[in-house]
């Protein structure tokens, strides 16, 4: 294996800008940026196919690898959802569908979509690709560990999918894996399935921690000169804060997975009380099923924000760029992200209002949960205020942004229903909950992912995606998904419980038959519409319009690399120097309607810049 | 332009759907109308915010769509506006939270005159136990459960002797009398849920959980298990009859008490030994 190191090792302080302020009477140089304190990073450059594309240490390639593998698992999750909707809309239409299968599909769909699709895609995919580029670093600070992170994820996905082929199949205990049923007979996959699930999660957390440390330290230590924290694009803020949450929350998932494996394999009783099953006393006793729920949701609720915060950050940037307007209230947006992240550790038990925990918890967790609505609402206001008096390009990216606002506000409002403890009592464990979390945590982040794909594809591939196909893709997905989940809330009002394999023999549920058929049909169409994107990507990779440099006229650093797509090392010989925030759009007095972050003040001297 | 119209149609469609939906609450049959009221309040405030935000967005789409040569406004911050929005949102949230917490306080404080009902769940079925004349349920232990003692009642506990045992998934309740549902499970999580009563709570093995309501409409209702409990979850149903006082008392008289059961078993034991001696 050929090894060589980047030879343009320079101390930036000696190589670039003049340091001003020599003696008295000299006005300080407006363009002055503090010199770098550490030497430029050495990078390992792979030469063989294996080191360049497989065991690669370039964060951009790792990002694409994460993206592709997460998308692959996401497609499996999508197919599972089709099978579930087939059963719910048209019971018996799939002859092989037993209750066991149904519950296995529900479980795997949920776990795949939340952890292996959304989390991996936002942090592993977008995080890896965008963080070094956006903060002006050459790569992540620990490229080797970063590579290992992806391959741990790869193994975790392998173990997860292997559970489809073991005796008894994958676990069917619901994505929350609540004991005691998760490890007792009577739940599908309570043999090997649940063990493989726990092992896969343990691997995922270990691998993810390696990536997460990279994202954090890169943001904290490897920003380029002039890139202060309060100049970072909100995408970086979102991913950064989400990673902090992940570092603190995933350990809770790790210990619950370990303890549950011990309960299952060694017969310990962390979560297992005295149990009488089929007339026989099991050899368990003294454990607490509610303890597992606390641990799980201590992870599970921050997990919602691990997905949501990067989405918040990305959507802020997309709206700003395509409205040709600065994001409104940047400082408040940053603080809202940080505050939401912090508060997300104090709301977990709102998933457990009817779990049998002490009822006084209800007062505390309802209060914290509704408090979190305030910074979240402020973010929404700031998005629409960014549109206000903008110059909004109605392109595909903007359509996804608008779709995000509608679905996110809708899902956020239903969250206020469920967070307000007493309203949760009739609605919990019904289809209202299913509709709520799919709207706010499934569809809304998906809108962001799609917007981000259309926005950054030109950077990654050097070619534009087809706008025409993109718009078809959007309208099918948005209108379809909205007509799946908006009516579904009303099934919850009727009282239809979730996780029912079939339910039509209940008198008041018969009215739901027609709606279930409609929802299922919409789900098939929305799912199929996603293949428009795949087609679009495949065709545009070869035949798309060349993107050129900075096709969206954006300010943030990733669009200002010497080559498009950026090469390994990102910046050629010299790191960029940052002079301003990422949102100087339509500044009065400026020639263009954007001023890139790298533009020094002297070049745009007669502009009225307010924030730098 | 068509983008704005489609989004407008989505918002108007959502409102119309909400007004004309045939899918809505089952008729309430308990005292928890206040839960429905809290939801209605949340609909007004939350729905108002949803509509306002979306309409503002649609307005921006119509008004500020890209025009060559126009320049967007440059205004990074507006401290005053941000302050107003923060305060208004906080007030709105407080207006939702306060009534919610008041009703929750009612929900977790059970009236003194409530009849206690022991709901015992397993994979996959229900059975019930009511207190006898002493008004108290005897304490139980999972380890005590066997064919002769299906509820696992602790024999030494005098309160348990007159407990009324209902070894079927059909429960009867007295109309207009609060009932405290005491939930326990012998295996996994379950949840005893009647949509018309609105309230629900998980049954957790190892502990006794509770909730209360006051049925106020005579009739027959279906019980659903609302917490996933394994492959038979969807089939785990039961029935509740809410009856007027005389009907209820008649039904109660016909039920077997724990001492009846013990006596019956002793009789069987006795005749068995007699048979063996012969």
* pLDDT tens sequence across A480-518: 999 999 999 999 998 899 999 987 677 777 778 889 999
**In the prediction, which pLDDT does B75 show?**
86
The ipTM is 0.94
Three-state secondary-structure class, residue A591: coil
Chain B closest-CA separation from residue A355 CA (Å): 5
* A vs B: CB pairs below 8 A: 319
**In the prediction, which pLDDT does A26 show?**
52
Q: What angle do CA B124, B109, A179 make, to 5 degrees?
A: 30
Is B23–A391 a contact, with Cβ atoms under 8 angstroms apart? no
Cα distances (Å, whole numbers) of residue A55 to A44, A69, A570, B269: 12, 14, 19, 75
- The domains of chain A, with CATH numbers, are 53-273 (1.20.210.10), 550-612 (no CATH)
**In the prediction, which pLDDT does B265 show?**
83
Cα distances (Å, whole numbers) of residue B73 to A392, A586, B69: 12, 7, 13
Chain A residue with minimum CA distance to B76: A328
Residue B175, Cβ density class (10 Å: 0-12 exposed, 13-18 middle, ≥19 buried)? middle
Chain A closest-CA separation from residue B142 CA (Å): 7
Residue B268 predicted with pLDDT over 50: yes
Is A174–B228 a contact, with Cβ atoms under 8 angstroms apart? yes
- CA distance linking residue A39 with residue A37, whole number of Å: 7
**Which contiguous run of DSSP H or E holds residue A142?**
none
- Strand segments, DSSP code E, in A95-163 are none
Three-state secondary-structure class, residue A20: coil
DSSP states of A264-325 as a string? HHT---SS----EETTEE-S--S--HHHHHHHHHHHHHHHHHHHHHHHHHHHHHHHHHHHTS
Is A371–B122 a contact, with Cβ atoms under 8 angstroms apart? no
Is B73–A173 a contact, with Cβ atoms under 8 angstroms apart? no
Compare CB distances from B38 to A422, A506, A511 and report the shortest one's residue.
A422
Is B3–A399 a contact, with Cβ atoms under 8 angstroms apart? yes
- The domains of chain B, with CATH numbers, are 2-64+77-108 (no CATH), 115-271 (2.60.40.420)
Compare CB distances from A389 to B53, B73, B186 and report the shortest one's residue.
B73
Using H for helix, E for strand and C for coil, what is the string for A337-349? HHHHHHHHHHCHH
Which pTM was predicted? 0.93
Residue B245, Cβ density class (10 Å: 0-12 exposed, 13-18 middle, ≥19 buried)? exposed
Nearest Cα residue to A552 out of A471, A474, A459, A447: A459
Task: Find how far residue A357's CA is from the centre of its chain.
Answer: 30
- Tell me the chain B residues in contact with residue A330 when contact means C-beta distances shorter than 8 Å: 76-77
| Phi, psi dihedrals of residue A390, rounded to the nearest 5° | -85, -170
Q: What is the dihedral of CA A343, A107, A353, B224, to 10 degrees?
A: 160
Nearest Cα residue to A502 out of B236, B190, B198, B223: B236
Compare CB distances from A506 to B201, B222, B230 and report the shortest one's residue.
B222
- CA distance linking residue A84 with residue A530, whole number of Å: 18
CB within 8 A of B104, min separation 6: which ones?
A359, A362, A363, A366, A421, A422
- CA distance linking residue A56 with residue A52, whole number of Å: 5
| Phi, psi dihedrals of residue B215, rounded to the nearest 5° | -65, 140
Bridge partners, residue B118, by sequence: B129, B182
Chain A closest-CA separation from residue B125 CA (Å): 12
Task: Find how far residue A251's CA is from the centre of its chain.
Answer: 18
**In the prediction, which pLDDT does A39 show?**
80
**Which contiguous run of DSSP H or E holds residue A354?**
none
CB A550 within 8 A of CB A559: yes
- CA distance linking residue A559 with residue A589, whole number of Å: 23
**Tokens 């989940």 sit on residue:** A485
CB B230 within 8 A of CB A184: yes
Residue A235 tokens read as: 């995408």
For B223-236, what is the mean pLDDT? 93
Residue A283, Cβ density class (10 Å: 0-12 exposed, 13-18 middle, ≥19 buried)? exposed
Q: A540-560 burial, b for 16+ CB within 10 Å, e for fewer?
A: beeebeebeebbbebbbbbbb
Q: State how beta strands B219-225 and B237-243 pair.
A: antiparallel
- CA distance linking residue A587 with residue A595, whole number of Å: 8
- CA distance linking residue B210 with residue B202, whole number of Å: 9
For B66-87, what is the mean pLDDT? 90
- Tell me the chain A residues in contact with residue B109 when contact means C-beta distances shorter than 8 Å: none
CB A146 within 8 A of CB A132: no
- CA distance linking residue A266 with residue A261, whole number of Å: 8
**In the prediction, which pLDDT does A24 show?**
46
Bridge partners, residue A366, by sequence: none
* Long-range contacts, B194-197 (Cβ 8 Å, 24+): B194/B29, B194/B221, B194/B222, B194/B223, B194/B224, B194/B240, B195/A426, B195/A494, B195/A495, B195/A508, B195/B26, B195/B224, B196/A495, B196/B26, B196/B27, B196/B28, B196/B29, B196/B30, B196/B221, B197/B29, B197/B30, B197/B32, B197/B221
Is B76–A494 a contact, with Cβ atoms under 8 angstroms apart? no
Nearest Cα residue to A88 out of A510, A527, A519, A489: A519
Mean pLDDT by 10 residues, chain A (612 residues): 42 40 55 82 83 91 96 96 94 88 96 96 96 95 95 97 95 94 93 95 96 96 93 96 96 96 95 91 93 96 95 96 94 95 95 94 95 95 94 95 97 94 93 96 96 96 95 97 95 91 77 90 96 96 92 94 91 91 91 91 82 61
* pLDDT tens sequence across B165-207: 999 999 999 999 999 999 999 999 999 999 999 999 999 999 9
- CA distance linking residue B169 with residue B192, whole number of Å: 11
* pLDDT tens sequence across B143-168: 999 888 899 999 888 898 889 999 99
Bridge partners, residue B23, by sequence: none
- CA distance linking residue A502 with residue A84, whole number of Å: 11
Chain A closest-CA separation from residue B95 CA (Å): 11
**In the prediction, which pLDDT does A573 show?**
87
Within 10 A of A50 (CB to CB), how many other CB atoms are there?
11
- CA distance linking residue A459 with residue A479, whole number of Å: 28
B115-122 sheet: strands from edge to edge: B209-213, B179-185, B115-122, B125-130, B164-166, B256-257
Residue A492 tokens read as: 């919850």
Q: State percent of chain B over pLDDT 90.
A: 76
**Which contiguous run of DSSP H or E holds residue B26?**
none
* B277 band by pLDDT with thresholds 50, 70 and 90: confident
Q: What angle do CA B157, B161, B165 make, to 5 degrees?
A: 120
- CA distance linking residue B95 with residue B111, whole number of Å: 27
Three-state secondary-structure class, residue B122: strand
Residue A220 tokens read as: 């904290």
For B222-249, what is the mean pLDDT? 94
């Amino acid at each position: 294996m050929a090894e060589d190191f980047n030879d343009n090792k320079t101390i930036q302080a000696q190589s670039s800008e003049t340091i001003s302020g020599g003696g008295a009477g000299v006005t300080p140089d407006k363009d002055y940026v503090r010199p770098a304190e550490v030497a430029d990073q050495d990078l390992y450059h792979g030469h063989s196919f294996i080191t360049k594309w497989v065991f690669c240490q370039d964060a951009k390639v790792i990002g694409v690898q994460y993206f592709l593998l997460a998308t692959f698992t996401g497609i499996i999750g999508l197919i599972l959802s089709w099978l579930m909707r087939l059963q719910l809309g048209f019971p018996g239409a799939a002859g092989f569908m037993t209750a066991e299968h149904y519950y296995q599909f529900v479980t795997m769909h949920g776990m795949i979509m939340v952890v292996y699709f959304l989390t991996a895609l936002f942090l592993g995919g977008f995080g890896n690709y965008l963080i070094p580029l956006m903060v002006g670093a050459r790569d992540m600070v620990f490229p080797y560990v970063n590579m290992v992170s992806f391959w741990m994820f790869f193994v975790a996905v392998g173990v997860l999918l292997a559970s489809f082929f073991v005796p008894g199949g994958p676990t069917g205990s619901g994505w929350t894996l609540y004991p005691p049923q998760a490890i007792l007979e009577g739940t599908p996959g309570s043999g090997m399935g649940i063990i493989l699930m726990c092992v896969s999660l343990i691997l995922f957390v270990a691998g993810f921690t390696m990536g997460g440390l990279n994202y954090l330290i890169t943001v904290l230590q490897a920003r380029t000169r002039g890139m202060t924290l309060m100049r970072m694009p909100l995408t970086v803020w979102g991913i950064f804060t989400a990673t902090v949450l992940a570092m603190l929350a995933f350990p809770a998932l790790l210990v619950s997975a370990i303890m549950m494996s011990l309960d299952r394999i060694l017969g310990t009783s962390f979560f297992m009380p005295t149990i009488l099953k089929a007339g026989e006393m099991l050899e368990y006793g003294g454990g607490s099923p509610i303890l597992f729920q606390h641990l799980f949701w201590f992870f599970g609720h921050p997990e919602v924000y691990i997905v949501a915060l990067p989405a918040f950050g990305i959507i802020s940037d997309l709206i700003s760029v395509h409205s040709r307007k600065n994001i409104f209230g940047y400082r408040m947006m940053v603080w809202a992200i940080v505050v939401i992240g912090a508060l997300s550790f104090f709301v977990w038990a709102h998933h457990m209002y009817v779990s049998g925990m002490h009822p006084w918890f209800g007062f505390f967790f309802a209060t914290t949960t509704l408090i979190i609505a305030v910074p979240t609402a402020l973010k929404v206001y700031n998005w629409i205020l960014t549109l206000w008096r903008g110059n909004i390009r109605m392109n595909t990216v903007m359509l996804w942004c608008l779709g995000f606002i509608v679905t996110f506000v809708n899902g956020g409002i239903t969250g206020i229903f469920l967070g307000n403890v007493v309203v949760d009592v009739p609605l919990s464990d019904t289809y209202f909950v299913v509709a709520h979390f799919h709207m706010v945590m499934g569809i809304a982040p998906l809108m962001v992912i799609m917007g981000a794909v259309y926005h950054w594809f030109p950077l990654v591939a050097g070619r534009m995606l087809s706008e025409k196909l993109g718009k078809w893709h959007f309208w099918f997905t948005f209108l379809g998904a909205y007509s799946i989940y908006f009516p579904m809330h009303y099934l919850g009002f009727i009282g239809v419980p979730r996780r029912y394999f079939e339910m039509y023999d209940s008198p008041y549920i018969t009215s739901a038959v027609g709606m279930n058929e409609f929802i299922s049909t919409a789900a098939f169409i929305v799912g199929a519409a996603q293949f428009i994107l795949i087609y679009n990507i495949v065709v545009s990779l070869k035949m798309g319009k060349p993107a050129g440099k900075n096709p969206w006229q954006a300010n943030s650093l990733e669009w200002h690399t010497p080559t498009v797509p950026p090469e390994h090392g990102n910046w050629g010989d010299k790191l960029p120097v940052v002079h301003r925030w990422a949102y100087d759009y339509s500044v009065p007095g400026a020639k263009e309607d954007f001023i890139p972050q790298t533009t020094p003040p002297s070049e745009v001297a007669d502009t009225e810049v307010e924030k730098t | 332009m068509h983008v704005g119209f489609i989004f407008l149609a989505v918002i108007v469609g959502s409102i119309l759907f909400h007004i004309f939906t045939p899918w809505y609450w089952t008729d309430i049959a308990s005292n928890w109308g206040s839960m429905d009221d809290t939801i209605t309040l949340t609909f007004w405030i939350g729905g108002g915010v949803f509509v306002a935000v979306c309409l503002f967005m649609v307005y921006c789409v119509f008004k500020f769509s890209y025009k060559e040569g126009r320049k967007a406004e440059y205004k990074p911050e507006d401290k005053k506006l941000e302050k107003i929005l923060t305060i208004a949102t906080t007030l709105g949230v407080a207006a939702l939270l306060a009534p919610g917490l008041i009703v929750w306080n009612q929900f977790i404080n059970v009236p003194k005159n409530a009849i206690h009902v022991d709901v015992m769940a397993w994979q996959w079925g229900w059975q019930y136990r009511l207190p006898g004349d002493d008004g108290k349920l005897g304490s139980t232990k999972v380890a005590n459960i066997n064919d002769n003692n299906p509820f696992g009642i602790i024999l030494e506990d005098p309160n348990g002797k007159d407990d009324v045992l209902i070894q079927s998934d059909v429960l009867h309740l007295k109309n207009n009398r609060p009932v405290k549902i005491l939930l326990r499970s012998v295996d996994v999580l379950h949840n005893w849920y009647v949509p018309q009563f609105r309230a629900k709570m998980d049954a957790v093995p190892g502990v006794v959980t509770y909730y209360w309501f006051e049925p106020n409409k005579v009739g027959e209702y279906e019980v659903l298990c609302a917490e996933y409990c394994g492959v038979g979850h969807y089939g785990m149903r039961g029935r509740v009859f809410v009856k007027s006082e005389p009907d209820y008392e008649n039904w109660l008289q016909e039920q077997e008490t724990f001492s009846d059961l013990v006596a019956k078993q002793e009789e069987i034991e006795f005749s068995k030994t007699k048979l063996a001696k012969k």
